[in-house]
Amino acid sequence: MLSRKGIIPEEYVLTRLAEDPTEPRYRARERRARFVSKNGNCNVAHKNIREQGRFLQDVFTTLVDLKWPYTLLIFTMSFLCSWLLFAMVWWLIAFAHGDLAPGEGASVPCVTSIHSFSSAFLFSIEVQVTIGFGGRMVTEECPLAILILIVQNIVGLMINAIMLGCIFMKTAQAHRRAETLIFSKHAVIAVRHGRLCFMLRVGDLRKSMIISATIHMQVVRKTTSPEGEVVPLHQVDIPMENGVGGNNIFLVAPLIIYHVIDAKSPLYDLAPCDLHHHQDLEIIVILEGVVETTGITTQARTSYLADEILWGQRFVPIVAEEDGRYTVDYSKFGNTIKVPTPLCSARQLDEDPSLLDVLTLTRGPLRKRSMAVAKAKPKFSISPDSLS
């Protein structure tokens, strides 16, 4: 999932640079249901909730969680219903005082220029939204009318505060900022610093920073306890590392986040052959931080199934220095290349370190050839002007 909402065409940026046409292609079996989708939505349906009244105890959150059509409908109906309710009250006050009877112009009315329900409805709108065209006003004749005026103003302010706050929260929700936090479509497993590592790439499309960004990763799989209890979604936290160490990351440019597969890792027994048969494995990645411009905490999520993990691949570099500044080529964000990697699990690699010799044998001839070419090249003197 490189881009969300089509910010960058996925079919353009996620093509791999090195693909061997002779490599056998595996057709994955029908996938199981994901716990977290690629765009970060949790694939969980809540059914048979009997205590529906709990949602009404938190009306504001319920309104914010509603879809936009329902929110706009409630927004419109809340104002219309309040206007109609107080229009009926103003009409009853005028009717009880005799202001609607014809030929009674000598007496002072409670509200001037109210002759029908339509004029009472217009006066209700003027009071609540403080338009004040000047044709209708409350007089000192009826204390009840003054009390209703105060009540309607308070009710109108409450409706404005709730509904405008709801609209603001829906437009400034934290997950909107997460749309520009991107993850690589595939994760890779390769050797880094002599250990097998699970790696993925994360980036931010906006220039505004994510402060105190942290990465969390969990492995979700179906397990059975020694007592025979089946746990359909067993979650295990595993540590993530980045290039500078620690959990906090400085996401000014795309970073490769990696997890060292050691004896404490749930992936310790994972081998290349398991990636095409281990259908119960799902790795969830969660990026969380504070939006610099708004101060709101946001969270972006994605997941990787077994067939979305590439063994023996490495992400290509996408950061380069041009004209005195660093540039990021997002067209290569998800691109990978093949690298020599032992076709065994991390446990087997710890038990037999000689399996890493295949990396030395692969890189050895290349190093010798490059050194021979370097010796064959003529030597040139370097002047201080050439360094500038």
> What does the pLDDT read at residue 361?
52
pLDDT band for position 80 (50/70/90)? very high
Contact 284, 303 (CB under 8 A): yes
Q: What is the mean predicted confidence (pLDDT) over 191-206?
A: 89
Q: Which range, of 2-6, 98-102, 154-158, averages the lowest pLDDT?
A: 2-6
Q: Is 5 exposed, middle or buried (0-12, 13-18, 19+ CB in 10 A)?
A: exposed
Stretch 184-205: mean pLDDT, rounded?
A: 90
Interval 212-254: pLDDT, tens: 888 888 888 877 778 888 777 788 888 776 555 556 788 888 9
What pTM was computed for the model? Answer: 0.66
- The arithmetic mean of pLDDT across residues 53-76, rounded, is 82
Q: What is the mean pLDDT of the chain?
A: 78
* Position 205 confidence tier, pLDDT thresholds 50, 70, 90: confident
> Among 36-40, 100-104, 298-302, 333-337, where is mean pLDDT lowest?
100-104
Confidence grade of residue 148 (pLDDT, cut at 50, 70, 90): very high
Does pLDDT of 203 surpass 50? yes
**What pLDDT does residue 120 have?**
93
Residue 246's pLDDT is what? 55
Report the alpha-carbon distance of residue 266 to residue 213 in Å, rounded.
24
pLDDT at 32: 64
Residue 146 has pLDDT above 60, yes or no: yes
DSSP secondary structure string, 37-90? Answer: -TTS-B---------THHHHTTHHHHHHHS-HHHHHHHHHHHHHHHHHHHHHHH
